[in-house]
Amino acid sequence: MYHTVIQERIRRLHLLHSVMLELTYRCNLNCFYCYNDPEAAGTPLSVDQYLRLFDDLESMQVLFLSFTGGEPLAHPQFFELAGAARRRGFAIRVKSNGHAIRGEVARRLRDEVNPMAVEMSLHGATASVHDRQTRVPGSFERLLENLTQMQQLGLRPSFVSTLTAWNAPEIEAMYALADRFGVRLRWQGPVSPRQNGDREPLTIQPSAVDWERVRAIAEGRRASAAVPAANPLEGATKPPATDEDRPHCGIGTQEVLVDPFGNVYPCVQVRWSAGNLHRQPIRAIWEQATAFGDARRLSVATAKRFAGQRPTQFGAPIFCPGVELTYLGERGQRTDIPLNDWRKSSPLR
């Protein structure tokens, strides 16, 4: 019922249901294919601005709040922010590389945030592949140590992996590793250009044959009921099939992305500026910005473009119009905030 009736109602009533917060682009790993723009700059949102945002989102009945980055725990006020979000009753997801979630950090995450899920990036089934992608020696062993600690504390970790040419030979072994720890493994892709247009990550794009192997293995696992039924690309939003102007994905209908500098976008890959939280509250942006309608039209146009087909992109059995825009040269739009504006609103004034 949730995925049919309620999701349809959320779209029809234009309710904001889910928000993804890129807290920071700082990271303690250095992943080869990371899509973040390492040169991105702007005036970061202050803690007070985040707290106002959380108040607004609570009053708008937003349910899901995801903390991502970069590495969200690299934000110096992560626990203050995530704890405040928790007290406002959001269902919180933390998307992390897992490198710092150990000891006191893990305990605080459980006690102060209690996220519904901690999704951690798995880059391979061996240290040689995982650490090659993260470019930090020892990160694989540390991830597994931290995973064990998290499970002992009662946190709810899972794995997400971007399929690459480097880890494709370890698909089966990565599933075995996830099974060994009793956690879910979700695949995502394709590898996309960086937000600044840099195509270097595409050099490790896996082949269509690799994606077919993922599909076949996932199908086999479903058939044997070894794991709960799950689409290997279940992160992709499925639109209702009854709409006359059927969209390709759920972009622009119920979710927004907020970058560390307050820019609000329809999604991670379609960075059309809907506004900036330094200038407007989220409710005004959600209700007035044309970017969301434009994004929905892009989604509908994409569905019409591939009507009756199963589109692929770089060999992956999925097509993201935002990845295509970035590949073709479109750059994210940012609202420039003059420094004096920031000084007026800064608690450090």
Partner 1 sequence: MSEETNPDTLALHPDLVFRAAGDEGVAVDQRKSEILVVNGLGLRVMQLVRAHGSRQAVLTALLAEYEAPAERIAADLDAFLDEMRQRDLLC
Q: Minimum Å distance from CB 101 to partner 1?
A: 17
Q: Which of 116, 226, 229, 284 binds partner 1 (CB under 8 A)?
A: 116
Cα dihedral across residues 320, 325, 326, 331: positive or negative: negative
Is there binding between residue 9 and partner 1 (CB under 8 A)? Answer: yes
- What is the identity of the amino acid at 54? F
Lay out the site mask for partner 1 across 51-90 (x = CB under 8 A, - = otherwise).
Answer: ----------xxx-------------------------xx
Is there binding between residue 216 and partner 1 (CB under 8 A)? Answer: no
Lay out the site mask for partner 1 across 124-163 (x = CB under 8 A, - = otherwise).
Answer: --------------------------------x-------
CB-CB contact of 345 with 46 (8 Å): yes
Q: Minimum Å distance from CB 179 to partner 1?
A: 18
Residues near 53 by Cβ (< 8 Å), separated by ≥ 6? 45, 258, 277, 281, 282
Is there binding between residue 1 and partner 1 (CB under 8 A)? Answer: yes
Is there binding between residue 6 and partner 1 (CB under 8 A)? Answer: yes
Q: Which residues of 276-297 are buried (b: 16+ CB within 10 A; e: fewer)?
A: bbbebebeebbeebebbebbbe
| Number of residues near partner 1 (by CB under 8 A) | 20
Which lies closer to partner 1 via its Cβ, residue 207 or residue 237? Answer: 237
Is there binding between residue 301 and partner 1 (CB under 8 A)? Answer: no
Q: Alpha-carbon dihedral of residues 332, 262, 321, 34, nearest 10 degrees?
A: 80
- Name the DSSP letter for residue 339: H
| Strand-by-strand arrangement of the 157-162 sheet | 185-188, 157-162, 117-121, 91-96, 64-68, 18-22, 255-258, 263-265, 275-276
Which lies closer to partner 1 via its Cβ, residue 33 or residue 54? Answer: 54
- What does the binding site for partner 1 look like in residue numbers (CB under 8 A)? 1-2, 5-6, 9-10, 13, 15, 17, 61-63, 89-91, 114-117, 156
